[in-house]
Structure 1
Amino acid sequence: MPVSATTSLLIILAVAVTTFATRAVPFLIFPKGKPIPKTIEYLGKVLTPAVIGMLVVYCLKDTPVAAAPHGIPELIAVLAVVILHVWKRNNLLSIGAGTVLYMFLVQAVF
């Protein structure tokens, strides 16, 4: 369904305002020199690993372990991601290499 130029501009404006607000509001709520509440510091420490863990569970939840190839490509790719991340400490490298390895395994090997 085609969208009119006015609707497109309104969508772009809404996205731009929302994006700007998500960047600006933290500076308004927590101005420089004011201590950050302990709850916010705690959330800053635990949310990233929690989200990554949830994504891993979501990605692996439908892995067929009862049928061939029994989740072997997924296991190899996950191990590669873990090893690369522990070795290099680079999220982009470990996730990117794990994705490429997994795609290679499911398309060419298994």
Structure 2
Amino acid sequence: MPLSVGMSLLIILAVALTTFATRVVPFLIFPKGKEIPDVVQYLGRVLTPAVIGMLVVYCLKTTPVLSAPYGIPEAAAVLVTAGLHVWKRNNLLSIGAGTVLYMFLVQAVF
């Protein structure tokens, strides 16, 4: 079902306002000069690695390790991604190279 122009503009406006609000709220809650609570600082340190760990588990949870190709493409992509990230500390490079390697392996090799 196609949307009318008005409805499309309303959706775009709602998304823009929501995005703007998520960017502004932290500055309203924690203005310059106000002490950031310890719990917020703690969450800032631990949430990124926790989310990345959850994404890795989610992506690898259905990897077939008991049947061909035995998780080889996934393992190679994870090792390349981790190795490149440790070496170069470049998120775009490590994730991009790991993704390209995985897609090459599953499309052309296995």
Q: TM-score range by the shorter chain?
A: over 0.9
Note the alpha carbon deviations across 1:66-102, whole angstroms, 9 max, x for none: 1101001100110001110110011111000000000
AA matched with 2:58: Y
Tell me what 1:102 maps to. Answer: 102
Note the alpha carbon deviations across 1:9-65, whole angstroms, 9 max, x for none: 110110011000000010000000001000100000011111110000000001011
- Unmatched runs of 5 consecutive residues or more in structure 2: none
Shift of 1:6: 1.3
SS for the counterpart of 1:49 is: helix
Tell me what 2:46 maps to. Answer: 46
Q: Which runs of 4+ in 1 moved over 6 A?
A: none
TM-score, length of structure 2 as denominator length: 0.98
The 2-side partners of 1:24 and 1:76 are apart by 41
Q: CA RMSD in A?
A: 0.6
Shift of 1:5: 1.2
Tell me what 2:86 maps to. Answer: 86
The 2-side partners of 1:72 and 1:16 are apart by 42
The 2-side partners of 1:18 and 1:73 are apart by 39
| Corresponding position: 1:17 with 2:13 | no
The 2-side partners of 1:36 and 1:96 are apart by 35
- Unmatched runs of 5 consecutive residues or more in structure 1: none
How many aligned residue pairs are there? Answer: 110
SS for the counterpart of 1:67 is: coil
SS for the counterpart of 1:95 is: helix
TM-score, length of structure 1 as denominator length: 0.98
